[in-house]
Chain A
Amino acid sequence: MTERHREIIVPERDLKSELRRRTRRDFLIAGVAAAGGIGAYEWVRHSKREDDVPWPQRRVLDFNRKLSEAYLSDSHLMPSYSRDRVEHLKPNGDIGLDPGVDLRNWRVQVSADDGPLVNVPVADLQSLPRVEMITRFCCIEGWSAVAYWGGPRFSEFTRRYFPRGRKLPSYVYMATVGEDYYVGLDMKSAMHPQTLLAYEQNGEPLKPEHGAPLRLAIPVKYGIKNIKRIGIVKYTDEKPGDYWAEEGYDWFAGL
């Protein structure tokens, strides 16, 4: 576009009407566009809710999840820290941590879609290679703390207890014994090298408020997925339910 076309020259007596014509037209377009925008927004916000999120937004969260999952890699690691960087970790949630259960003889019920696989005494996990990991624990609320975990990788656990030669399903479901708290995980995140079944924190056995005797330490997910006091592990091809996703949060919640 040349400068020449950027100027409209009309006789002075017509200038006002030309200006008025353009003003009327363009403000009308602006008004219609604004109404359309507000209408679209209202439509999105009042759409039928799926797990407490209007479905168009839920679709976008799922799309974001697909992108994140495609990019997720075992070589993309949460940074590790030295021991002197470990911080106090606030025990934020206590759902499913009812007192008065026998933590010493704790067993994890492992199953797949076609039925139970094995009940693993938590003491048996000591025989799996123990990994120590000092990583940032990120709460979905926005705070974070450098946490120090010890325990086997979930991938080792799977190698040991999921039948060899069978195709690994797409998801893992983990829950407290009464299923008061439960999380759904994509298999890629579950098998990530930084995903631990932690029985230790700060070099000591897990404290009850932090999920004794066994919890998930999964720094590639928000804290809401780091389920405490795991009683149930299920390998499944059906997308599992998730406590906080049902309250309107992103199901993937990956970092």
Chain B
Amino acid sequence: MPSLKLKHLVAVRWFHWINFPLLFLMIWSGVLIYWAYPIYSIGPFHFFPAWFYSALHIDHRLAEGMALHFFFMWLFVANGILYVAYTIISGEWRMLVPRSLAAFRDAWYVALHDLHLRRDAPPQGKYNAAQQVSYTAIVLMGAASVLSGLAIYKPAQLGWLAALFGGYRGARLAHFVLTVGYVLFFVVHVAQVALAGWNNFRGMVIGYEIEDHPALAAETRVSQ
């Protein structure tokens, strides 16, 4: 007998969907700031090509970018802290955080499985090992972004923090690389969600997923 199973707690759903536009605004305003001194490249690829700035009208908006960045940083950080605190208090962290070294091996197997290079996926709880690793990594990346951001923002008052990132320039590079990391995360995340289908996506909005689970259904008959 199919049932509706609660997958995502209501608070987690709110944190997730509030984070999405906030992170977008932080990245967008970050690019407005980055435009004024765009020095990074990987091989021949330059961050960013001229067409990118002109297509999105990014040029000469440094002041606007800073005013946005230092406004939305508060909401972004508050949402992130509340999310982490909530996962700890609710115990949800147990499902989100890799609990053993084997999880990292399993995460690799999940990735191979998803790429059709391995037949079986390792057994999993609510989240598979690859999700655990990436959802934990993204939170740690968030913390590193806040710290490297603070190091660039106040390199005199927080000189020790800048030193931690190898100085002012190191902190700026770290802040940028982390942002590229979010974009890569986003691409993979959205692709995975698209592949997982509507039931999974809807679950992130309404919290519940349809689940066929006859044994459990028989023993816990809670109707609503």
Contact = CB atoms under 8 A, between A and B. Distances in A.
A219 interface: yes
B46 interface: no
Contacts of A143: 37, 39
Contacts, number: 144
A141 to B, nearest CB: 4
A147 interface: no
B3 A8 contact: yes
Interface in A68-92: 68, 71-73, 76-79
B202 A23 contact: yes
Interface in B1-55: 1-6, 9, 17, 21, 33-34, 36-37, 39
- For this complex, into which size category does the number of interface residues on chain B fall? 35 or more
B100 interface: no
B67 to A, nearest CB: 5
Nearest to B155: A255
B36 A9 contact: no
A139 B33 CA distance: 12
Nearest to B172: A142
Interface in A166-192: none
B67 A250 contact: yes
Contacts of B220: 3-4, 7, 9
Contacts of A71: 154, 157
B159 A79 contact: yes
Name, among A12, A56, A140, A142, the residue most crowded by chain B CB atoms within 10 Å (CB to CB): A142
Contacts of A79: 159, 162-163, 167
A18 to B, nearest CB: 7
A138 interface: yes
B72 to A, nearest CB: 9
A144 B162 CA distance: 14
B210 A68 contact: no
Contacts of A233: none
Contacts of B94: none
B157 A30 contact: no
A53 interface: yes
Interface in A207-247: 219-220, 244, 247
B4 A220 contact: no
B224 A23 contact: no
B159 A77 contact: yes
Contacts of A68: 154, 157
B224 A8 contact: yes
B222 A9 contact: yes
Contacts of B205: 23, 26-27, 30
A121 interface: no
Interface in B129-179: 153-159, 162-163, 167-169, 172
Interface stretch (B58-66, B107-115, B187-195): B58-66
A101 interface: no
Given A142-B34, A220-B156, A255-B157, A10 B67 contact: no
A63 to B, nearest CB: 9
Given A61-B67, A68-B157, A249-B66, A8 B208 contact: yes
Contact of B157 (A4, A15, A72, A140): A72
A64 interface: yes
Interface of B: 1-6, 9, 17, 21, 33-34, 36-37, 39, 62-64, 66-68, 70-71, 74, 90, 153-159, 162-163, 167-169, 172, 202, 205-208, 210-211, 216-217, 220-224
